Amino acid sequence: MMEPVLRVDDRGASPVEGRVVYDLPKLVWNLGMISAAVVFAPLTFSIDAFILFLVLTYFSLLIGHSAGMHRMMIHRTYECHPLLEKLLIYIGVLVGMSGPYGIIRIHDIRDWAQRKAECHDFFSHKRGYFLDVWWQLTSKFVFKHPPTVNIEAKYLSDRFYQCLESTWRYHQLLLAVILYLIGGWAFVVWGIFVRVSVSVVGHWSITYFCHNPGPGKWRVKNASVQASNIPGLGLLTYGECWHNNHHAFPESARIGIERGQCDPAWRFIQFLSFLGLARNIGKPRALELRDDLKKIS
């Protein structure tokens, strides 16, 4: 099993002290996408465009975000050839949430804050749903005493990832040109504006409900925020809804670890392994290494 990646240096940092402020680039990007989707989607609806939206949304989130960015890039739960790794992360960028460095920072700071004894509501998702989603779509947290996120040199020194980080928004333009040539403006609206809007809002919605207590058998000791499993949403969320499992075993490439917990992203990783394209696949750590956990059911 690969060693977990510890990127956050929190010496002198506080996960509570600070304030939520508007992040203008994030606000313009997300609200711009949502506004365009609301205005133009009804005017351009067609069965073909809707099917395109469903396919692109599902598989970009499944392959790019869940299997690529989340389980491989962030948690290092499996390894693959550098070219395949770049392809998966590129598909993750096309989801439209952030570049690779931005995704790592968003995830790792949130995870660090949630595992502390105290955590600001911005990271714990303990306010109301609509306020929380508004925060995540439009705002950032400015720390009084910020932690430092040290991204691995393999990413920071790679020109491909540097380019993706600085240009991640513009890659929608290339995809838009391709979609326009295939199906006109309807494909652009549903394949870009609607897809990005649903992907980003959907991501933060699942994040919200997964961090409000519910079914789950594991409690992370000394952590202020505990995660939930949400039964019945495995297929829709690529297995990410089994978030109580993920908090307990972030080293595992499989998140739906219990019987009957559907985990499509894990099936994709298994498929890569079958083809010889994935290796060093992480599993839940052994019983003797679970001192940080308490089994509650």
- pLDDT by residue (tens digit) across 101-155? 999 999 999 999 999 999 999 999 999 999 999 999 999 999 999 999 999 999 9
Residue located via tokens 């968003």: 106
pLDDT at residue 132, as a whole number: 97
Lowest mean pLDDT among 7-11, 21-25, 160-164, 177-181: 7-11
Residues 76-105: what's their mean pLDDT? 97
Q: Is the pLDDT of residue 15 over 60?
A: yes
Q: Residues 173-205, buried b or exposed e (16+ Cβ, 10 A)?
A: eebbeebeeebeebbbbbbbbbbbbbbbbebbb
pLDDT band at 215 (very low <50, low <70, confident <90, very high): low
Structure-token pair, residue 83: 């070219």
Examine the pLDDT at 1 and tell me if it is beyond 80: no
Average pLDDT over residues 205-222: 89
CA distance 211 to 225: 7
Site of tokens 């994709």? 268
Question: Given this model, what pLDDT does residue 265 score?
Answer: 98
- pLDDT by residue (tens digit) across 247-259? 999 999 999 999 9
Q: What average pLDDT score do residues 226-247 get? A: 95
| Pairing verdict, β 293-295 and 79-80 | unpaired
- The CA distance from 9 to 150, in Å, is 7
Q: One-letter amino acid identity for 248?
A: A
Mean pLDDT of 156-183: 97
**Residue 58, C-beta contacts closer than 8 angstroms, at least 6 positions apart:** none
User: What integer pLDDT is reported at residue 3 of this predicted model?
Assistant: 53
If you average pLDDT over every residue of the chain, what do you get? 95
Alpha carbon distances (Å) from 190 to 58, 120, 170: 13, 36, 17
Residue 6 has pLDDT above 80, yes or no: no
Place 173 in a pLDDT band, splitting at 50, 70 and 90. very high
What confidence tier does 4 reach under pLDDT thresholds 50, 70, 90?
A: low
- When pLDDT is cut at 50, 70 and 90, the band that residue 280 belongs to is very high
Instruction: Give residue 41's identity as a one-letter amino acid code.
Output: A
Tokens of 117: 């004894």
Q: Are 139 and 22 in contact (CB under 8 A)?
A: yes
DSSP H or E run through 79: strand 79-80
Using CA atoms, how far apart are residues 33 and 237, in angstroms rounded to an integer? 21
The residue type at 229? N
